[in-house]
Chain A
Amino acid sequence: MKITLSVNGEERSLDVDPRTTLLDALRDHLDMTGSKKGCDHGQCGACTMLVNGRRINSCLALAVMHEGDEVTTIEGLGEPGALSPLQKAFVRHDGYQCGYCTPGQIVSAKAMIAEFSNGWPSYVSDDLEAAPDFSEAEIKERMSGNLCRCSAYPGICAAIKDAAPEEGLNEREAAE
Chain B
Amino acid sequence: MTEHLKMDEVQPRLLDETGQGAITRPMDRPEGPLKVSGRATYAAEYKAANMAFGVMVRAGITKGGYSIDESSVKDMDGFLGVWTDHMIRNSAQGMMDTNPVQLGQRVQYLGQPIAVVAAETFEQARHIANRLKVDYSPEDGDVDPETASQVDQSVALDQGDLEQAMKDAEFTVDSTYTTKPHNSAPMEPHASLAEWDGEKLTLHGSYQMLKYNKNELADSLDMDADDIRILAPYVGGGFGSKLGIAAEAVGAAVAAKALKRPVRVVMSRQNVFEMVVRRTETRQRVRLAADKDGRLTGLGHDNRQSNLPDEGFSEPVTLATHFLYGGENRRYEQEVARVHRMAAGSVRAPGEAVGMLALENAMDELAETVGIDPIDLRVRNIPEIHPESGKQYSSRSLAQCLKEGAASFGWDQRKGPKERREGEWYVGMGVAAAARTNILMESKARVTLNPDGTALVETDMTDIGTGTYAILGQIAAEMLGLDPSKVTVDLGDTDLPAGSGSGGSWGAASAGSSVFLGAKAIRAKLAERLGCEPSALRLQDGMATGGNNRRPLAELMEGPIAEEGHIEPGDMSDEMQQAGYGAHFAEVAVNSVTGEVRVRRTLSAMAAGRILNEKTAASQVHGGMIWGIGTALHEAIEHDPRTGHVVNNDLAEYHVPVHLDVPQLDVMFIEERDDHANPMQVKGIGELGLAGAGAAVTNAIYNACGVRVRDYPATPDRIFPHL
A residues neighboring B (CB under 8 Å): 17, 19-20, 24, 27-28, 31-41, 43-44, 46, 73-75, 77-81, 83, 87-88, 90-92, 94, 96-103, 106, 124, 137, 139-141, 143-157
Contacts and interface: CB of A to CB of B under 8 A. Distances in A.
B185 to A, nearest CB: 5
A37 B37 contact: no
The 5 closest A-B pairs by CB, nearest first: A34-B38, A98-B465, A100-B236, A99-B35, A97-B465
B622 interface: yes
Contact of A91 (B36, B124, B616): B36
Nearest to B77: A17
B269 interface: yes
Contact of A144 (B32, B464, B660): B660
Given A44-B651, A101-B187, A141-B659, A151 B39 contact: no
A63 to B, nearest CB: 11
A46 B45 contact: no
Given A96-B32, A98-B188, A144-B660, A41 B37 contact: no
Interface residues of B, number: 61
A154 B622 contact: yes
B619 A75 contact: no
A100 B686 CA distance: 18
Interface centre among A79, A154, A155 (most CB of B within 10 A): A154
Interface string B652-684: 100011111010110000000000000000000
Contacts of B31: 99
B66 interface: no
A40 to B, nearest CB: 6
23 contacts: A27-B44, A36-B42, A37-B44, A38-B188, A39-B651, A40-B269, A41-B652, A43-B652, A77-B37, A79-B37, A87-B37, A91-B33, A94-B618, A98-B188, A98-B235, A100-B187, A103-B36, A140-B660, A147-B656, A149-B185, A149-B237, A150-B187, A150-B237
Contact of B656 (A28, A31, A102, A149): A149
A157 B41 CA distance: 25
A34 B81 CA distance: 30
B466 interface: yes
B427 interface: no
Most buried by B among A38, A43, A99, A100: A99
A147 B188 CA distance: 11
A102 B31 CA distance: 13
Nearest to B37: A79
B28 A91 contact: yes
B32 A91 contact: yes
A153 B662 contact: yes
Nearest to B627: A151
Nearest to B625: A151
Contacts of A149: 184-187, 237, 239, 656
> SS class of chain A's interface: helix, strand, loop or mixed?
loop
Nearest to A101: B187
A19 to B, nearest CB: 4
A90 B32 CA distance: 8
A164 to B, nearest CB: 15
B83 interface: no
B503 interface: no
A140 B35 contact: no
Interface in B232-251: 234-237, 239
Contact of A73 (B38, B268, B467): B38
B623 A151 contact: yes
B659 A152 contact: no
B237 A34 contact: no
Q: Counting chain B CB atoms within 10 Å of each CB, which of A78, A146, A153 scores highest?
A: A153
Given A34-B39, A37-B189, A139 B465 contact: no
Contact of A147 (B34, B41, B187, B620): B187
A157 B660 CA distance: 10
B553 interface: no
A100 B42 contact: yes
Contact of A31 (B47, B122, B268, B269): B47
B439 interface: no
B41 A33 contact: yes
Contacts of A124: 660
A19 B34 CA distance: 30
Nearest to B35: A99
Nearest to A103: B38
A98 B187 contact: yes
A154 B665 contact: yes
B487 interface: no
B386 interface: no
Contacts of A28: 47, 121-122
Contact of B188 (A77, A100, A141, A151): A100
Given A41-B650, A74-B37, A80-B34, A155 B656 contact: no
Contacts of B188: 36, 38, 98, 100
A75 B659 contact: no
A87 B659 contact: no
Nearest to B127: A19
A69 B459 CA distance: 45
A39 B269 contact: yes
Interface in B20-38: 28-29, 31-38
Contact of B269 (A41, A102, A137): A41
Contacts of B665: 154
A37 B33 contact: no
Contacts of B615: 94
Contacts of B237: 97-98, 100, 149-150
B612 interface: no
B269 A38 contact: yes
Interface string B150-190: 00000000000000000000000000000000001111110
B627 to A, nearest CB: 6
Contact of A92 (B28, B35, B236): B28
A157 B650 CA distance: 25
Interface string B604-643: 0000000000011011101101110000000000000000
A140 B659 contact: yes
A147 B634 CA distance: 14
Nearest to A75: B38
A137 B31 CA distance: 30
Given A75-B39, A80-B34, 7 more contacts: A20-B123, A33-B41, A33-B44, A90-B32, A98-B186, A140-B659, A153-B626
B40 interface: yes
B122 A24 contact: yes
B33 A36 contact: no
B79 to A, nearest CB: 14
Contacts of B646: none
B232 to A, nearest CB: 12
Contact of B660 (A77, A106, A137): A137
A41 B268 CA distance: 10
A36 B33 CA distance: 16
A3 to B, nearest CB: 15
A35 to B, nearest CB: 7
